[in-house]
Amino acid sequence: MRLLAPLVAVFLAAPAPAGVYDAAADPPPLPSRWAGFLPDHRALRAAATDRPVDSLRADFLATADRLKKLDRPLTADESADLGAALLRVGKATDAVAVLRPAARRFPDHFRTAANLGTAWQLAGDLDQTAAALADAVRLAPEKLRRAEEFHLKLVRLRLAEGRAAQRPTAPDDLFGVRFSEKLDPAERAKLPADDVAIVQSLTLALPADGRLLWLLGELANAHGDVRTAAAILDGCVTEFNLSAPDLRAHRAAYRAAADALARQPGHDGHRGTIVFRSARPLARRFDTSVLPPVRADRPNPLPWGLLAETELGGKEPAFPRHLLALDGKPVVLTGFVQPPGDAEQFGSFLLLEYPVGCWFCETPDPARVVAVELPPGVRFGRRAGLVKVTGTLTLNRTDPEDYPVRVTAARVGEPE
Q: Per residue in 241-260, pLDDT tens? A: 999 999 999 999 999 998 88
- With a cut of 50, say whether residue 3 has pLDDT above it: no
Provide mean pLDDT across the span 339-353: 87
Largest CA distance in the chain: 67
- With a cut of 50, say whether residue 6 has pLDDT above it: no
* Better-predicted residue by pLDDT, 353 or 189: 189
- With a cut of 80, say whether residue 275 has pLDDT above it: yes
Instruction: Pick from 27-31, 199-203, 233-237, 345-349 the range whose average pLDDT is largest.
Output: 199-203
Categorize the per-residue pLDDT at 304 as very low, low, confident or very high, splitting at 50, 70 and 90: confident
Structural domains of the chain sorted by starting position, each given as residue range(s) with its CATH number in brackets:
5-270 (1.25.40), 293-413 (2.40.50.870)
The neighbour count for residue 186, using CB atoms within 10 Å, is 8
* Better-predicted residue by pLDDT, 405 or 310: 405
- With a cut of 50, say whether residue 14 has pLDDT above it: no
Instruction: Determine what percent of the chain is predicted with pLDDT higher than 90.
Output: 59
d(CA 335, CA 383): 11
- With a cut of 80, say whether residue 25 has pLDDT above it: no
d(CA 271, CA 34): 10
The neighbour count for residue 130, using CB atoms within 10 Å, is 18
**Peptide bond before 281: cis, by omega within 30 degrees of 0?**
no
- With a cut of 70, say whether residue 5 has pLDDT above it: no
Q: Sign of torsion, CA 6 253 199 204?
A: negative
Q: For the whole model, what pTM was predicted? A: 0.74
Strands (E), 219-309: 300-301
Query: Phi then psi for 351, rounded to 5 degrees?
Result: -105, 130
